Structure 1
């Protein structure tokens, strides 16, 4: 018993040490974003929102935010639409080459992102296709689509076909059955996949560095460009905003998914 208790204590301490190692730098960045001094050092001289104000008046960062929001929104809409249709085909229908299509849909998540980014860039250069925003959007869709497919498929497998068969037996056509029965039942997974794809697109830097055209910057690439020149206190404020966005979105999505699931069970 003592050995077992000692083993669990070691596991707990190791887990705490790993989490501290991962999140302590993030906590330090967030704390320094409220530092009134220009130099990031401890102990801090005072608390201030100065760098958030500077951030708001930085035109380059505002443009990068707008680009990231538009790119993330388009990526989430396109990835979710394709992912829902592909999941329906994979789960509800049998057709030749189904396993091959399923593997192709999930393959991008198995390939290192830098390899995928370089491969797509070289392929499009071979086709003499220049870098553009549509190319950047296509790259983000390819990278985020597997996450949507996996989440929606997991939910769709748990939805019994009897509900759809009952709707069709009452005279509903396939489109009505999907709109009135299937989609509401898998809506929590659809919203989760949409938030996943938006968050991944919003945070992505590896693929974006390869695919973005000149003069277009997203928030991660803007941070990277700022770090190459100098370490500005605005970077700490921008990092805090990024952390809050990427943490708040999944939490909001999880809360909405639980509420929708509870409402469905109540019916």
Structure 2
């Protein structure tokens, strides 16, 4: 019994050390974002929003933010739309090759992003097509679609088919049944999938490095290029903004999902 107690204490200590190792750099970045000095020193000599102001005045970073927001929004719309239709097909219908197609759509989760990035880039080179925003969008849809598909499928499995059959028996067509019955019940999963796909797209850097052009740089790629050239305090401010958005979006997804859970099947 005593050995078991010591073992659990060691596990707790190891867990705490892992969390400290993981989150200390994030805390340091956030703290240094409010440092008024050019170089990071502890203890800080004051508190200032100086670097956030400079960040807002940096046109290249603002353009990168616009690109990331547009790309993330379009990715969320396309991934969610395709994910809804695919989930309905896989759950509500039987057809030849269903399992194979479902596995292919989910396979990007199991493939490293570096491999996906290089593969799509080489495929476009084979087709003699240049890198563009459309390529970036396609790549991000491929990356995020599996997550939307899994979330929507999990929700759709729990929705009784009898509700849809009852609506059809009362004279509703397929589209009316989907909009009046299926869609409201799927809404928590749809919102969660859209927000998660936006977060993944907004935060991705590994695959985006292979697909982005100089005109279509996203915020993570911009941070990476800034770190390669010099270490500016603006990077801490930009990193803080990225951390807040990356954390806030999944939390919003969870909140909206719980808010709409009263629409249970």
TM-score by length of 1: 0.97
Describe how 1:166-181 pairs up with structure 2 within 5 A: 166-181=166-181
Distance 1:9 1:182 in 2: 49
- Deviation for aligned residue 1:181: 0.7
Match of 1:256 in 2: 256
Match of 2:197 in 1: 197
Distance 2:85 2:138 in 1: 17
Secondary structure of 1:171's counterpart equals coil
Describe how 1:80-159 pairs up with structure 2 within 5 A: 80-159=80-159
CA offsets, 1:1-32, max 9 Å, x none?
32222222222111111111111100000000
Distance 1:4 1:249 in 2: 40
Distance 2:3 2:214 in 1: 60
For structure 2, which runs of at least 5 residues remain unmatched after alignment? none
Match of 2:18 in 1: 18
Secondary structure of 1:261's counterpart equals coil
- Deviation for aligned residue 1:241: 0.3
- Deviation for aligned residue 1:106: 0.3
- Deviation for aligned residue 1:162: 1.1
Describe how 1:49-68 pairs up with structure 2 within 5 A: 49-68=49-68
- Deviation for aligned residue 1:120: 0.5
CA RMSD of aligned residues (A): 1.1
- Deviation for aligned residue 1:212: 1.3
For structure 1, which runs of at least 5 residues remain unmatched after alignment? none
TM-score by length of 2: 0.98
Match of 2:244 in 1: 244
Distance 2:237 2:256 in 1: 28
Distance 1:110 1:218 in 2: 24
